[in-house]
Amino acid sequence: MKLTIAVCTYRRFDWLKKCLDALKNQTLPSHEYKILVIDNSLTKEKSGNFRDSLQGFSNLQYIITDRCGIGYARTVAMEKCSTEFLAYTDDDCLVPSDWAENILKAFERHGEGAGVIGGRVIPDWEADRPGWLDDDLLAPLGMIDWGDEDIFIDQDSCQWLLSANAVYRTRVLRMVGGFPSHLGRKRALPLAHEEFAANHAINAIGYDLVYSPLLSVKHFVPAARADQKMLCRDAFWDGVSQVLFRNSGVEMDDVDRLSGLLLPLQEQFLTDFKEFASQDDLKQKISQMRGRGWQAAEDALGNRAGKDLKQPSVIYLVTPSLNASRTIDQTIASVTAQAGDFSIRYHIQDGGSTDGTIEKLEQK
């Protein structure tokens, strides 16, 4: 047996059952892979009843933890894994019948240098996809599709892998200590980037991160999730997560304190939210919320004594660009020429220019 498939779950038993049924019905014989559930729901009676209701599984191990948090749960799966490869998917994902078989094919193709291999995460809509939700906004919903060719991903890439569809060489994941417990969703706190941190560490010690179109899963998107306000909320916490990822020494106590400080701030920023008719305006608002989350987290981490959040001394500017090669120089110059009792963090987020804007930005 070479493969363990881990599903980390938190209080979504109906969806977990569908996910497990798909994992049970694989073309790879059941004695050649193991299914491992890490249930961090903190509802021992419900979890136990659900575990006992499962039938027809000859290769299932079900572990109920006394702590929650997706980073913690993924690391528990790593600690319990006894096979060469450890695959992760989410409890609201459905995998095709040849998924496990294709995992082994992908590692055979890429050899010992591959530390992580992941693939497509495509949406499974509960309701019709909203007209305003274009492809550029699928990534914040946890979807990726990097095409039909294998891609090697490094720290400078514009692509990434998601643990809804990612497989690790177990010994390599152990070399970097698994997933940071202070990152990733914990109860209702929508933090992220636990897999990004692990993948970054794996790449840093010389192993490849590979996108393979052989691997594909469907990820359920509830109707309530395809919502502009939810995207802006998640962008705020994406900014917070980026700061937590980049700050060494952050511990769970810091995260617990941060949540108490930043949850009211998030609500304040989204008070009287109204939907945008323009996609450009929506994307600008998402960028703004990400910047606000970033700055609020930096301010809070720089003020660990527990005082109120200080007023910002940093101005975070975001310029969305699209086919702006003729004007981007002037825009950059006007921003960097600002003077005053503050510093500027300037980010340019390009929407897929085709007129040389990206090349000009790379030269900058």
- CB within 8 A of 210, min separation 6: which ones? 106, 110, 114, 116, 117, 118, 150, 151, 152, 153
Shared-domain flag, residues 287 and 324: yes
| 346 has a pLDDT exceeding 80 | no
Q: Select from 196, 221, 246 the last residue of a domain.
A: 221
Burial of 125 (0-12, 13-18, 19+ CB in 10 A): middle
89 with 192, same domain: the answer is yes
* 98 pLDDT above the threshold of 50: yes
Same domain for 295 and 172: no
Query: Do 16 and 151 reside in the same domain of the chain?
Result: yes
Choice among 75-84, 137-146, 255-264, 302-311 with the minimum mean pLDDT: 302-311
Over 60: is that where the pLDDT of 340 sits?
Answer: no
Q: Are residues 197 and 326 in the same domain?
A: no
Q: Do both 159 and 273 map to the same domain?
A: no
* The domain boundary residue, chosen from 221, 243, 266: 221
Please identify, among 221, 249, 283, the residue that sits at the C-terminal boundary of a domain: 221
Asked whether residue 161 falls in the same domain as residue 295, the answer is no
Lowest-pLDDT range, 63-67, 119-123, 137-141, 159-163?
137-141
Q: Are 205 and 93 contained in the same domain?
A: yes
pTM for the whole thing?
Answer: 0.82
Pair 297, 254 in one domain: yes
The pLDDT assigned to 338 comes to 66
Q: Same structural domain for residues 213 and 236?
A: no
Which pLDDT tens digit goes with each residue over 141-168?
A: 999 999 999 999 998 888 999 999 999 9
Amino acid present at 185? R
Packed helices 13-24 and 44-53: angle between N→C axes, nearest 10 degrees: 30
Percent of the chain past pLDDT 70, that is, above it, reads 91
Residue 321 belongs to what domain range?
228-363
Checking if the pLDDT of 243 tops 60, the result is yes
- What's the CATH code of the domain at 195? 3.90.550.10
Based on the fold, state whether residues 189 and 234 are members of the same structural domain: no
Coil, strand or helix at 268: helix
Total domains, the chain? 2
Average pLDDT across the chain, whole number: 90
Q: C-alpha 10: how far from its chain's center?
A: 16
pLDDT on residue 260: 84
- Lowest-confidence segment of 11-15, 58-62, 178-182, 320-324 by average pLDDT: 320-324
Whether residue 263 is found in the same domain as residue 349: yes
